Amino acid sequence: MVKFFAQFGKKSLLADIRERGVFRMIFLLGFAVVGGFLFLPYASSTYIWLFELIRGPLSPTEQKPTPGFAVLTVYVVLGAAVGALVGAMLINLAEKLVARWDKFDGGQKATTIAGIVLGVLLSLPFVVFFQALGIPIATIGFILIVLMVGLAAIMVYALNSIDEFLPWSKSRGRARRSGIKILDTNVIIDGRIYDVVRSGFLEGQLYVPGFVLDELQFIADSADGLRRQRGKRGLDVLRHLQQDFQLEVKVHDRLLRGSKEPVDSRLVQLAVLLGADLVTNDHNLNQVARLQDVRVLNINDLALSLRPNVLPTEHLKVTIIREGNQAGQGIGYLDDGTMVVIEGGKYRMNQEVNVEVTQVIQTERGKLIFGEIEDEVEVDDAESRKRSKKP
């Protein structure tokens, strides 16, 4: 018996209702019986009304007709059908409510219960008020039920609107994902975020905190020409984002009102409170956010993942634009910005050469490709073959 109840408790109430059809049948049968008994007292009065409607009003001397067994049976069956219908509607409503309740986390359940309790408590003083007005008890009961339901719904809505400030909801930001994407200063200045959003790879509500906007304004007003240019570019990117997409600014800053911490710390705190994702290309901010269980979308990681794979012995066309760190080396770049170190490239500056890949190294910042100029490789191979043929 204990094992049965333990197994029964592991299932949700919704699964029990659906899997155990016997409960549904008993519930419907109970409502059918109640409906039949409720309709039975009205059989006599309804029968007399129909009799007078068809035949005409009864005279004072005539005896009132009484319904027979067949008529009573019809009323009982009709009441049972209505009762079963009401029972089926209540079961469907209960299943929907239980299904929704099962999807709630602990904080949402606590908020709902607290709102219902507050609504009931707020409706009780109205009982004294209605009694003082001399309203009948039956009417007071009906009005009280309506007030309880209405006030409970209002209180649940009010508590959900201030969910971030409730004591049992402080850690809910880590468990849920709101779909909000918080943009930091670096990713806005970078500018690639606009193309990512336009291509549809970034969904959800874009949000820029007020302190990030202030930092961009501060950079745009800098005395340093390079910093001033970067700040203005960031403001231009924001303007284009706001024109073409749904971008919110400063809406949720009230959650960090009065905070004097650095911008990166406030970004992480806001992402935790909102259950939002943080969009950045700052490596340090990326690491700090991940330590606090904040989902980070790094634009640099996206760019690295989209770069084509290059394997040794493959051939590339690269323009050598500068010297390398080692003697004789030249440096070129692929279209995606990948650096290519070319042996002997120093002597082919500003020329486009065919390069054979010899080695590919993966670093934190991306791939580093080493290669040799193809015609020099062919010359070296020919010389080695000649030396091998000599006796």
* DSSP-assigned states of every residue in 93-141: HHHHHHHHHHH--HHHHHHHHHHHHHHHHHHTHHHHHHHHTT--HHHHH
Instruction: For the chain, list the domains and their CATH numbers.
Output: 10-165 (no CATH), 173-305 (3.40.50.1010), 310-389 (2.40.50.140)
Q: How far apart are CA 226 and CA 52, in angstroms?
A: 99
Q: Is the pTM of this model over 0.85?
A: no
Q: How far apart are CA 283 and CA 312, in angstroms?
A: 29
Q: How far apart are CA 205 and CA 203, in angstroms?
A: 7
Q: How far apart are CA 74 and CA 117, in angstroms?
A: 44
Q: Spell out the alpha helix ranges (H) of the chain.
A: 2-10, 13-19, 21-39, 42-55, 69-103, 106-123, 125-132, 137-161, 172-175, 185-190, 192-198, 210-220, 225-244, 263-274, 283-291, 299-306, 374-389
pLDDT tens for the chain, 391 residues: list them. 334 334 444 444 455 545 556 777 787 788 888 877 777 777 777 767 776 677 667 666 666 666 677 777 877 888 888 888 888 888 888 878 777 777 676 777 888 888 888 888 888 888 888 878 877 776 777 788 888 888 888 888 888 777 667 776 654 444 456 688 999 999 999 888 888 888 888 888 899 998 899 999 999 998 888 889 999 999 999 999 888 888 888 888 877 776 778 888 889 888 888 888 999 988 888 888 888 888 898 888 887 777 777 888 888 889 999 888 888 889 998 877 788 999 888 888 888 899 999 988 877 667 889 999 887 544 444 444 444 544 4
Sheet with 277-280, side-by-side order of all strands:
247-249, 206-208, 181-183, 277-280, 296-298
Tell me how long the chain is: 391
Q: How far apart are CA 59 and CA 66, in angstroms?
A: 16
